[in-house]
Amino acid sequence: RVDHGTMLAATGASPRELLHERRVPASAPVGRRRLDVSADEVNEMNEAFDMFDPSGTGTIDYQEARVCFRALGFDVNRQRLAAMIGDHDRERTGHITRAAYVEIASQLYMERTPEVALESAFSLFDDQGTGKISRKDLRRVCRELGEALSDDELQAMIDEFDTDGDGLIDIEDFKSVLQEATIF
């Protein structure tokens, strides 16, 4: 799994900026349609690719690509992935280049529904998969981003958006926060 907090800290983006990032063209081979993805998404793609290409060959195999796509939050079935990779592996080496990987990942990002994007953003905070964001989760994300907020400030954030009074932010509360900020 890609450590989103580390990625956010490295890019200097806040979770809010991650969702509202200006979209930029991803690299695509000549003759193919360029897909628009955010700079953060491109960074995320490259980070996942680099985990499976530590020697810097510029290629990864089918299984590594499958794990990369899963790390990015895409659960692509084997047949579809084989077809997508096959379109880029014309010499049938069993490997794809970084450019081909970025193009495939960009296509997957562009197919992502707003609901899936919301769930992905929520998971940046809910890394334990509990379905709730606690003060501890907020503190971790703030620490990863270099933000120094007191427990009182973190609790005030929860109190403001916790609609059911359980002291936690669930996905519906999170969605309301983003809608109020006109991000989602």
pLDDT tens, position by position, 68-108: 888 787 878 889 888 998 998 888 888 999 999 999 999 88
Q: What's the pLDDT at 58?
A: 92
Q: What is the 3-state secondary structure (H, E, C) of 69-117?
A: HHHCCCCCCHHHHHHHHHHHCCCCCCEEEHHHHHHHHHHHHHHCCHHHH
What distance in Å separates the CA atoms of residue 73 and residue 163, rounded to the nearest whole number? Answer: 28
Which pLDDT score, from 0 to 100, does residue 9 have? Answer: 41
Highest mean pLDDT among 31-35, 56-60, 117-121: 56-60
Res. 168: pLDDT tops 50: yes
Q: How far is CA 143 from CA 2, 64, 85, 132, 148, in A?
A: 17, 31, 38, 19, 7
Residue scoring higher pLDDT (78 or 4): 78
**pLDDT tens digit sequence for 111-163:** 877 787 788 778 878 888 899 999 999 898 888 777 888 999 999 989 988 98
pLDDT of residue 29: 38
7 pLDDT more than 80: no
Q: What is the pLDDT of residue 184?
A: 52
- What does pTM read for this prediction? 0.52
Q: Between these two residues, 17 and 172, which has the higher pLDDT value?
A: 172
Taking residue 57's Cβ as centre, other Cβ atoms within 10 Å add up to: 10
Residue with tokens 């999170």: 174
- Write 12-16 long-range contacts (CB < 8 A, 24+): 13/40, 14/145, 15/121, 15/124, 15/125, 15/141, 16/181, 16/183
